Amino acid sequence: MSENKIDNNGLSFSQPSEVDLQKRDFLVKATAATGAVGAAAVAVPFIGSMLPSERAKAAGAPVEVDISKLKPGEKMTAEWRGQPVWIVRRTPEMLDKLAKHDDVLSDPNLEVPQQPEYCKNKARAIKPEYAVMLGTCTHLGCSPNDNFAITADWDGGFVCPCHGSKFDLSGRVLKGSPAPTNLVVPPHQYLTETTILIGDDKKAEA
């Protein structure tokens, strides 16, 4: 409880007790903690608002992809505009095969513009080691399966499970496939050695 005392002017005042002081300290700390939590709650949505929303991604916002853990001979899948984007890290053997089967391709010279100009080469890539393409068959939109095993009759690539369209490791369609064109190479660029920006190629560099 508080204790009444007399000051130098003869006026009475209350001296807070130890219990009162403890209560006051508790209230001050509780108020400060509540304020900190409130500030954090406001900060999280604010930070989140600076990141591309799912709607923005679906509408075509560029997407950054980290390829640092992708090993030779492996494929990873990202998403852009609601579609799968394949990134394949090709081995030297895979790249060697790309130049040796033009005779079985429907569009070996890439006359149909299914890729940006900077990818108009055998590898259909900025960096030959990495292929970037939409994982959607150009026939009816199914997603082809990987078949990277190189044999005497197959140089590795993709086979669509729906109607049998075949594509090589650059996404070029083989003759006799229902698919009329090669797989699409989306606009992209390298932000760093291991980061690809899909959907924006304003500064695309080799």
pLDDT value at residue 21: 54
Q: Which sequence positions are flagged as catalytic?
A: 163
- The per-residue pLDDT for range 159-188, each reduced to its tens digit, is 999 999 999 999 999 999 999 999 999 999
Strands 157-159 and 166-168: antiparallel
Classify residue 177 as exposed, middle or buried by CB count within 10 Å of its CB (0-12, 13-18, 19+). buried
> Percentage of residues in the chain with pLDDT exceeding 70?
69
109-165 pLDDT, tens digit per residue, is 999 999 999 999 999 999 999 999 999 999 999 999 999 999 999 999 999 999 999
pLDDT (0 to 100) of residue 26: 61
Tokens of 126: 């900025």
Distances (CA, A) of 170 to 101, 155, 162, 186, 199: 12, 11, 20, 13, 19
CATH fold for the domain made of 54-198: Rieske Iron-sulfur Protein (2.102.10)
Residue 28 has pLDDT above 60, yes or no: no
pLDDT of residue 191: 96
CA distance 43 to 119: 42
Is the separation of the CB atoms in 54 and 106 below 8 Å? no
- Higher-confidence residue: 43 or 150? 150
Average pLDDT score, the chain:
83
pLDDT at 206 over 50: no
pTM of the model: 0.71
Q: pLDDT digit string (tens) for 3-13?
A: 555 555 554 44
Q: What are the residue ranges spanned by the domains of the chain? A: 3-49, 54-198
**Residue 108's pLDDT is what?**
95
